[in-house]
């Protein structure tokens, strides 16, 4: 009879759970413009009755882009992480967290009743089909190591169009172009064009150090090259993000004494804590010449136009200081 107790409890729970949560009336969303059709990174035509105003974004770059176009997303994946890693555009305090970027919660997304979900390609293929049955989904390319700046422009235009901010999108992109062009001019004026650089981030666990170089084709690399730098990292990188993996001695592949090291560390700074005493590190050209630049905390190296502008500014500043 020990089985009766759980059965009773279950029954009680079930009975108390009767009722509904829905309010029958649905207020029609006020339309702010005519129907929009965009072709997203999958090559799929996404039709919206009106430009989206209640947007959920599932990756930080998309969050940033939407926010910088003047539309505050109603829900974003890993809001707390965004605040640490991408400081270029602040989020409003009431933006809802919809779970981790690797597994955003469909429940949370839907609870916000959005009219558009923007997500990055490659992160959760199965989710797209599920979400799409109910809410339009726009998939951005997110990264492409063969053409990352152009990719960024396309993604930005795509997002801008979908949320009815095409003009703002163009403005943001021309802001980006101006920043890159001005940066390039400034770098050239200093005679620093062609300065080789190495960009990396890294982490230290136990006494194990991992260094992740941003190879040719990564967004940071394309940005840096646009303002006149030259990527010194030639090791193997992945085709989407343009990232490599190495350890401290792998950095000895960089030999040009003019090389500047840029690194990002919004949390732990392994380059100064973990490596400072290392003899290989101490002999690296950029360490010898003291050309080691830490990007400001909150510089998201996989972000949108604002992040790219922020990265470009810091590179230019380093070259012209």
Partner 1 sequence: MMRTAVVTAGIVALIAVLSAVHLTQGTASTGVLDVLSAVLGNGDAQTLAVLEGSRVPRLLAALLLGVALGVAGAGMQSVARNPLASPDTLAVNAGAHLAVVAIAAFGLSLPTLPAGAAAFVGGLAASVVVLGLSGGGSTSPRLVLVGSAVMLTLQSATILLLLMFEQETTGLFAWGSGSLTVSDLDATAQMTPVVAVAVAALLVMGRSLDVLALGDDNATVLGLKVRRTRVGAVLLTVALTAAAVTIAGPIGFVGLSAPVITRLLTPFVPGLGRHRLLLPVSGLVGVVIVLGADVLLRAVMGSAAAVRVPTGVMTTILGAVVLIWLARRGRSSGTPRQAPAGRVGVATSSRRLVVTSVVLVVLLVAAPAVGLMLGDRVVLLGDLANWFAGRTGTALTFVLDQRLPRVLAALVAGAALAVAGCGIQSVSRNPLAEPGLLGITAGAGLGAITLITVVPMAGAWHIAGAAGAGAMAAFALVYGLAWRSGLDSDRLVVIGIAMWSAGMALITLLIVTSDPWNTAKALTWMSGSTYGRTLEQVVPTALALALLTPLLWARHRELDLHSLDEDTPRVLGMRVERSRLVILLAAGVLAATAVSAIGVVAFVGLVAPHLARSLVGGRHARVLPVAAALGAVLVSVADTVGRTVIAPAQVPAGLVIALVGTPYFVLVLWRTREMRT
Residues 160-199 within binding reach of partner 1 (CB under 8 A): none
- The answer for residues whose C-beta is within 8 angstroms of residue 154's C-beta and 6 or more apart is 41, 141
Sketch the per residue contact string, 206 through 225, with partner 1: x for CB under 8 A, - otherwise: xxxxx---------------
Choose which of 28, 43, 129, 191 interacts with partner 1 (CB under 8 A): 129
- Report which DSSP code applies to 300: -
Residues 8-37 within binding reach of partner 1 (CB under 8 A): 10-11, 13-14, 17-22, 24, 26
Q: Which is nearer to partner 1, 229 or 300 (CB)?
A: 300
Choose which of 44, 83, 283, 317 interacts with partner 1 (CB under 8 A): 283
Choose which of 29, 37, 39, 84 interacts with partner 1 (CB under 8 A): 84
Query: Phi/psi class of residue 123: alpha, beta or left (left: φ > 0; alpha: ψ in -120 to 50)?
Result: alpha
Residues 230-269 within binding reach of partner 1 (CB under 8 A): 235-236, 238, 241, 243, 245-250, 252-253, 267-268
CB of 28 to partner 1, least distance (A): 12
3-state secondary structure string across 222-235: HHHHHCCCEECCCC
Question: What does the alpha-carbon distance between residue 33 and residue 184 come to, in Å, rounded to a whole number?
Answer: 39
Burial 70-96 (b: 16+ CB within 10 A, else e): ebbbbbbbbbeebeebbbbbebeeebe
Residue with tokens 């394309």: 222
CB of 320 to partner 1, least distance (A): 31
Q: Which is nearer to partner 1, 138 or 180 (CB)?
A: 138
Asked if 133 interacts with partner 1 (CB under 8 A), we say yes
Among the listed ranges 104-112, 170-178, 225-233, 292-300, the one in contact with partner 1 (CB under 8 A) is 104-112
240 in helix, strand or coil? coil
Question: What does the alpha-carbon distance between residue 281 and residue 278 come to, in Å, rounded to a whole number?
Answer: 5
Asked if 274 interacts with partner 1 (CB under 8 A), we say yes
Q: How many helices (H) does the chain have, and how many strands (E)?
A: 12, 12
């Amino acid at each position: 009879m020990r089985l009766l107790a759980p059965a009773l409890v279950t029954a009680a729970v079930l009975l108390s759970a009767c009722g509904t949560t829905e309010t029958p009336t649905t207020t029609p969303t006020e339309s702010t413009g005519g129907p929009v059709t965009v072709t997203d990174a999958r090559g799929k035509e996404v039709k919206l009755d009106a430009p989206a105003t209640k947007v959920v974004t599932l990756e930080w770059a998309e969050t940033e882009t939407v926010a910088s176009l003047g539309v505050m997303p109603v829900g974003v994946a890993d809001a707390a992480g965004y605040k640490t890693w991408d400081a270029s555009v602040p989020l409003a305090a009431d933006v809802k967290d919809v779970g981790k970027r690797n597994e955003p919660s469909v429940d949370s997304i839907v609870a916000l009743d959005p009219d558009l979900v923007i997500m990055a390609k490659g992160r959760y293929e199965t989710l797209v089909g599920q979400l799409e049955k109910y809410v339009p989904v726009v998939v951005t390319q997110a990264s492409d190591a063969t053409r990352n700046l152009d990719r960024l422009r396309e993604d930005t235009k795509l997002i801008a169009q979908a949320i009815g901010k095409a003009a703002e999108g163009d403005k943001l992109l021309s802001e980006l172009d101006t920043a890159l062009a001005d940066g390039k001019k400034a770098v050239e004026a200093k005679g620093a064009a062609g300065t080789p650089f190495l960009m990396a981030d890294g982490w230290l666990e136990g006494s194990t150090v991992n260094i992740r170089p941003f190879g040719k084709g990564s967004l940071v690399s394309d940005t840096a090259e646009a303002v006149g730098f030259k990527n010194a990292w030639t090791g193997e990188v992945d085709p989407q993000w343009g990232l490599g993996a190495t350890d401290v001695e792998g950095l000895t592949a960089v030999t040009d004494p003019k090389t500047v090291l840029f690194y990002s560390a919004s949390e732990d700074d392994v380059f100064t804590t973990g490596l400072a005493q290392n003899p290989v590190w101490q002999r690296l050209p950029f360490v010898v010449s003291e050309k080691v630049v830490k990007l400001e905390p909150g510089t998201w190296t996989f972000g949108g136009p604002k992040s790219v502008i922020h990265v470009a500014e810091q590179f230019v500043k380093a070259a012209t200081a």
